Structures are given as C-alpha cells and as structure tokens.
Amino acid sequence: MHRPVASGPFHTRQELRRKLRQREKFRATKLHATALSEKGKFTLHVRQILVALLAIVLPGAALAACSTDQQQVGAGFIVVQNSEPQSPLYTTDTNETGGGDILRMLYSGLVRYDTDGSMILDHAAEIKPNEDSTHFDITLKPGWTFHNGEPVTAQSYIDAWNYAAYGPNLQKQQSFFANVQGFDAVSGEKATEKTLSGLKKVDDLKFTVDLTTPDSSFPLSLGYVAFMPLPKAAFEDKKAFGEHPIGNGPYKMAEGRAWLHNNQLTLVKNDNFAGEHKARNNGLVYRFYSDMDTAYADLQAGRLDTLPRTIPPTAMASFETDFPDSSANVPTSSAQYFAIPRNLPGFSGEEGKLRRQAISMAFDRQLITDKIFFGTRTPAREFSSLTLGDLDPNVPGQDVLKYNPDKARKLWAEANKIAPFTGSFDIAYNADGGHQQWVEAVTNMIGETLGIESHGKAYPTFKQLRDEITNETLTSGYRTGWSADYPSVANYMIPQFATGGSANDNHYSNPKFDKLIQEASSAKSAEEAKPIYVKAQSVLMEDLPAIPLWYPNASVAWNPKLRNAVVMWDGILDYPMIEKD
C-alpha cells in the first residue's frame, strides 16, 4: 500500500531487455502442459507458474537499477517510504495508510499506543467511565496548543467529532462515532441535528461522552486519527487545510510547499509540542515511491532510511542478510485479503456466495506464503490478526480458507447451475506495493482449479486503485488489507464489515453479524467478548465479504546509521524516538 519521486523509476536498456526476457520466459512457462497430478492437489501448470514467479522474486533478480532525482534532505531528517495519500490530509476523512501514517505524526490525541500496543494517556489526564461504560468523563492536560498557537481545548475535540458525524459533510470516518448518543439525528444526508447530543463541554479542559450502548473498549479507540482534535482553521477552508493541515503533534508541516504531490511530503519537528513523546530528530520526509524494488534499492544505497511494514517480495529472502543489524521480521497487527464487489455479474445472492467460497478454496495459501514470501506471511485462519489475544484458531466455518480444489470445483459447478459464469475473474492490485507476484500466483491457481480465465489487473498507484474502489467503478475483484487503527479485534470487524462501516467498501450488511458485534462491544472485558467475536466471524466465513489471505509479518529494514529504531505494534518504526546525525 505504499511507493519514488517525480515520474517514477527508470531503467537502463540492459535492465529493460532482462525484464522482457523474464516476461517471455513467464509466458512460455504459462503455455506448458496442464496435466493434473495424481493427488489432485494442484496442476503441473501451477507448479511451473510458481517456479517462473520465483525467478522474479529471487534475491536481486528485479531490483531497479537506479532511482529518479530526489529533493535534498536536511541533516537529522528521517526519509520514509510511503504512498501518495488518496485524499486531502483531514483526520476525519482519511482511512488509508498513505495519509493515515502522516496524520499520526501531525496529531496527538487523548491516548497513544506503546510499542506493544498498550494504551498510554496522552493529552488526556483522565478518562473515567461509569459502571457500565456508557458515560465517560474526560479531563485534558493543560498547556497544549496547535501548531498555530491556538489552545487545544475540550471544544477542539467536540467540534472535530461533530464534523465527522454530520451526514452532509460526507466524512469517511463517520462510522467511528456511530455509538455516540445523537448519531442517528446527525448522520443522515438530511440530518435533523448538527451536533451529537452525547458530547457535552464542562469547561475548557473537561468534556463528557455518552454512548448509546456500553463499550468498555471505547478509551482504547481514542488514539486513532479519527478522534484527533481540530483547530478552528479546519472548518474555514477545508481544501487549503487538507493541503497544509495544522495539528498538535510532535511534527508539523514544513513551511512553503511541504506536500509535493506524487513526490514527497516534509514534516519538521514541533519544538512547542507539549506531550511526552517529543521528536528526537529534525523531521520526516515521506517519499512516494511507484515501485517497491526502487525503494529497496534506495535503502541499500542510503538514499532512504526505512521501508515501513514490509520490504518487496524480491528482497524477502535476503533483507535480513542485507541489513543484519537493522532489520526485523516479527508479527504485526495487520491482515491481507482480496474482495469481490457484489455488483459484479455472477457474485450476488446465493450464486455469489457459492462462487466466493469456491474461489477461496481454489488456491494454496501455504504454498504461496512459503515460496513467494519465504515464510514472512502466515496463512489466514480468520479475519483479524495473529497479534491479537482475541484471535481464535477454531472459528466455525474456517475450512473455507483451506486449499480444497475438489470442493472448490463442486461449489463452482453448483453456482453455474444457477447461472453459467462467463468472462474472466480478475484481481486488481496497486503495482507500487509489491503485489504482482502473489496476485499472479493466486489468479493462476484459481484459473487452473476452476477452469476459468483469471488474471491480475495492475493499477500504477495505490491512490488510483483506492479511487476506483471508493467511486465503485471497479469491474473486478481487488486486493485489500487492514493495518489496525488501534489494537483490538473490534477494529477489524466494525470498520470493514459492520453495516455502514468506514472501510466497508462493498457495503456488506448482515443483521446477524451486526447484532453479534454490538453484543461483543457491550461486553465488560475482552475475555467476555472473545466467544461473541468467534460467532460473528463464523457469519463472515459463510458470507466471505472479503477473502482472507494471510497475516504479514513486519518485515522491516532501516538505515544502520539510525539510532533507537524500534518496530511498533503495527509494523512501523517509532519515528519520534529515532536519532540521526
């Protein structure tokens, strides 16, 4: 979900010839015999396709020769690989990592998360719940200001949350406020109220929140960017503010044109930050790469300081050797899927359910994670993440995530009895995120197992893919993923799959699932909620609103000259703590 600068990478003629030879070799391999093995596990064709793909993924096989001209970076700045944000940088309207990772550095909220994901009070001096967690008294620490000097007060939070919830504002993060009292009155396109009745200011440093239903995990969610405070300027000229936001965090936008679109964005240290998590470096430069291999080559050459969350597949087998003292390969709170729009022909109703289940069982997750990702991914068992204590290894219905070509063909045949399938099943992906190899492997396995045409469909950038998804103009399946906003299974379930969820791109809706999620949210503890989430996940296993693939490790590498580089619970480095000469 991330990306060089200016017009993207370029290659020498020799590099281009080599790439063309690889493509021809791949095409020749793809045309080879397709005889089934006796065990019926997968075809000779699929084995050969994986071999051809591995030729591309082997260490050093496809690293870009060089990168484009880059802007000069000042001393003490950390250069970070990232993607061009999909939308203007507005906390209540950003729900993807390209923009979200930047906003996390510009803002500090009521709470923040430690390295292991545990909650730490940040701007909040106290968050006090009542007995059933439907009412919260929130007290702020004094002396906090926005980057323009405006005090951060209780009203700064109330105004931001009301703006997010108000229906006519069409904010992507609206659903995070659905449990605050008064949401129904403000959330529709024809809202009858403009403010949430559940938010009340006591004084400049105190406000209260009343929820419609109990939610003991509500304080945990308050470190997510959707809950950040906003200054008055945010509501005066949203377009200008989104281009050059004013936050209250450890970093602020650089003066002048800080955001050079499709190139880079620069943040500088906020010397007036009142929080404890102060920046130890001079700033961050987010470079927008159009090719992960080029980013990795720049990391090796010292032009880039870190690739957050994951390195490209071409370096999976070698990055720990390339960076023996400045790399990590640890589980992180994220999951990857692909989804199928319900308006695609053949994928609605009972027919669509059968086809989604067939597709999920038509490819071998273990084989792909072993051979393409070299063990840096773990095949999915359910819809959340390995790092969460709420994950259960025995969710009813999870057999749909196991490779079973015979069952897949049977289900596909049942769907064809309802209506014969025509055309090709494709998976769209962003070419700047290192996804080509696994998409080609998955679609080739699906095609071989089900006897249909199935291909990858490349979009140059993550932003372009996200725009198609958001605008509902895709005519294929698409890769997607989730990096947790806060460390809770609820954050995987509610935004992605609850009715009206902020990241529910396919508008999935199942009243049974919604009811179970509400019950889980009302539980008094995570342990009490766990079996309810298992029941909710069993509903997802039947419907497959997205098809879980695997859990990525944080396969991270960084410049060995960085000091105090620590991988956080969500797979990125703790940037404010890093020191660099």
Q: What is the pLDDT of residues 520-542, one digit of tens each?
A: 988 888 888 889 999 999 999 99
Note whether 229 and 248 are within 8 A (CB). yes
The CA R_g of the chain, rounded to the nearest whole Å, is: 24
pLDDT of 320: 95
Contact between 97 and 83 under an 8 Å Cβ cutoff? The reply is yes
Q: State the pLDDT confidence band at 445, using cuts at 50, 70 and 90.
A: very high
Residue length of the chain: 581
CA atoms within 13 A on the CB side of 39: 4
Is residue 351 pLDDT above 60, yes or no? yes
Rounded Cα distance between 152 and 143, Å, is: 8
Burial (CB < 10 A; 0-12, 13-18, 19+), residue 471, is exposed
| pLDDT tier for residue 74 given thresholds of 50, 70 and 90 | confident
Tokens of 436: 């080509």
Q: For residues 505 and 457, give the distance between their C-alpha atoms in angstroms, rounded to a whole number.
A: 19
SS3 96: coil
Instruction: For 504-547, give the DSSP string.
Output: -TT----HHHHHHHHHHHHSSSHHHHHHHHHHHHHHHHHH-SSE
Give the mean model confidence (pLDDT) for residues 461-489: 92
Torsional sign, CA 193, 194, 199, 202: negative
Q: Using H for helix, E for strand and C for coil, what is the string for 427-439?
A: EEEEHHHCCHHHH
Facing residues of 420 across strands? none
Question: How far apart (Å, rounded) are the C-alpha atoms in residues 318 and 446?
Answer: 29
pLDDT category of residue 70 using cuts at 50, 70 and 90: low
Residue 318, φ and ψ in degrees, nearest 5: -125, -10
Contact between 355 and 347 (Cβ < 8 Å)? yes
| Pairing mode of beta strands 334-339, 477-483 | antiparallel
pLDDT greater than 80 at residue 98: yes
Structural domains of the chain ordered from first start: 86-243 (3.90.76.10), 333-553 (3.10.105.10)
Query: What is the edge-to-edge ordering of all strands in the sheet holding 135-140?
Result: 124-129, 135-140, 206-210, 199-203
DSSP state of 180: B
Sign of CA dihedral 79, 85, 88, 92: negative
Distance CA(273)–CA(157), nearest Å, equals: 18
Q: Where are the alpha helices (DSSP H) in 177-327?
A: 183-187, 218-221, 238-243, 292-301, 319-322
Instruction: Write down the pLDDT at residue 483.
Output: 87
Beta bridge partners of 145: 151
Are 484 and 100 in contact by the 8 Å Cβ rule? The answer is no
DSSP 220: H
Query: In whole angstroms, what is the distance from residue 339 CA to residue 399 CA?
Result: 18
Judge whether residue 12 has pLDDT over 80.
no
Copy the structure tokens of residue 85: 């944000």
CA-to-CA dists, residue 286 to 73, 84, 156, 245, angstroms = 11, 9, 27, 15
- For position 113, what pLDDT does the model report? 96
pLDDT of residue 350: 97
Hey, how many other C-beta atoms are within 10 angstroms of the C-beta on 466?
23
> What confidence score (pLDDT) does residue 57 get?
46
pLDDT-wise least confident of 421-425, 431-435, 477-481, 571-575: 431-435
pLDDT of res. 261: 97
As a whole number of angstroms, the distance between CA 492 and CA 473 comes to 24
pLDDT tens-digit map of 394-411 = 899 999 999 999 999 999
Given this model, what pLDDT does residue 484 score?
Answer: 86
Tokens 């998804």 belong to which residue? 469
Tell the burial category of 58 from Cβ atoms under 10 Å away from its Cβ (0-12, 13-18, 19+): middle
Between 28 and 295, the higher pLDDT residue: 295
Distance CA 136, CA 1 (A): 36
Going by pLDDT thresholds of 50, 70 and 90, the confidence category of residue 37 is: very low
- Please give the DSSP secondary-structure letter assigned to residue 211: B
Alpha-helical (H) ranges within 201-303 are 218-221, 238-243, 292-301
Q: What integer best gives the mean pLDDT of the chain?
A: 88
pLDDT for position 64: 35
Q: Report the DSSP beta bridge partners of residue 140.
A: 124
The residue written with tokens 């430069």 in the block is 285
Q: Are 286 and 82 in contact (CB under 8 A)?
A: yes
Give dist(CA 339, CA 552) in Å, integer: 17
